[in-house]
Amino acid sequence: MNRLAILAHKYHIVILAFVLMDNHIHIIARAFSKDDCTLFSHEFKRLTGKYCAHRYGTEGALRRLPVQVLPIEDDDDLKTKICYVLKNPTKARMSMFYNYPWGTGKLYFRNGEGASLCPKGIRVKDLGVNQLRSICQSRQQIPEEWILVDGLILPENYVPVADVEALYKTPRSFMYFLSLNKDDEIEHETSNGDNIRLTDTELRQARNLLSKQLFGTAKLQDLSLPQRLKLARCLRSKYLCSKKQIARIVRLPIDTVISNL
């Protein structure tokens, strides 16, 4: 997360929300221009790839991954997409968004509860130059008043929590936008065009091949409920199908698919 903080400061990016997942990242930010966002995003990808190569020996692992910079249309769009980003860990069944440590879900409307600030934090100004460079792995200067805890720059330092809360105005409004399910709409908007929408006939053929690979049979009636749900998740991940279409293809009630994907 330190790379986010340092690069946001360098490129004058205001990060409103973010989540770091195991295979992707979402950031909601304000900037002077799209070019600034693009520079910030590509530099984050470059440095993260460099870190992965050094730490795990995965040279070039991120090189082919796409970077997308998309506009926010209006305040409602902003509120919807912030909540979509925050809900990623919950949707992936990793953690409730407000407990997830690698995102900003824990920051909003908590009245200080769960805040990262704690007595063992240390301000940047109290660290030596070499010590700070060692912790942050960067020569980039950052504000002296920022606080680090266990080597991490606290998100409260660079995320304007009060501005995000003012956007929603009340906790009830925040919870309302969290309750919205616009995942299909947002995922379609953010798809990079590499995913081709399949007809039901094409998707059935893909289902049969995938089922054969995963479970050794192409017969849907031979699959258990957990196997059908796994098949549904794989189809959605690979082909970006709607949940309604997936429910038809794996022959499960739509409510079951919605609650498990």
* E strand or H helix at 27: strand 25-30
Q: Which of 133, 148, 181 is the last residue of a domain?
A: 181
* Separation CA 139–CA 132 (nearest Å): 9
Kindly state whether residue 90 falls inside one of the protein's structural domains.
yes
Are 160 and 206 in a shared domain? Answer: no
User: Given this model, what pLDDT does residue 260 score?
Assistant: 86
Are 14 and 132 in a shared domain? Answer: yes
pLDDT tens, N- to C-terminus, the chain (261 residues): 899 999 999 999 999 999 998 778 999 999 998 899 999 999 999 998 888 888 878 777 777 777 888 888 899 999 999 999 999 898 888 889 999 999 999 999 987 554 444 557 899 999 999 999 999 889 999 999 999 999 999 999 999 999 999 999 999 999 999 998 877 677 766 655 444 456 788 888 889 999 999 999 999 999 999 999 999 988 887 776 778 888 989 999 988 888 887
How many domains does one find in the chain?
2
Are 84 and 200 in a shared domain? Answer: no
Kindly state whether residue 186 falls inside one of the protein's structural domains.
no
pLDDT 10s digits, 202-237: 888 889 999 999 999 999 999 999 999 999 988 887
* Separation CA 159–CA 151 (nearest Å): 18
Q: Which of 181, 211, 229 is the last residue of a domain?
A: 181
CATH number at residue 145: 3.30.70
Are 44 and 161 in a shared domain? Answer: yes
Q: The pTM is what?
A: 0.70
Kindly state whether residue 147 falls inside one of the protein's structural domains.
yes
Kindly state whether residue 32 falls inside one of the protein's structural domains.
yes
Give the bridge partners for 103, in sequence order: 19
Q: Which of 181, 207, 232 is the last residue of a domain?
A: 181
220 phi/psi in degrees, rounded to 5: -60, -35
Tokens of 21: 């997942």
Q: Domain range holding 133?
A: 2-181
> Chain centroid to CA 105: how far?
11
Give the CA angle between residues 117, 120, 126 to the nearest 5°: 95
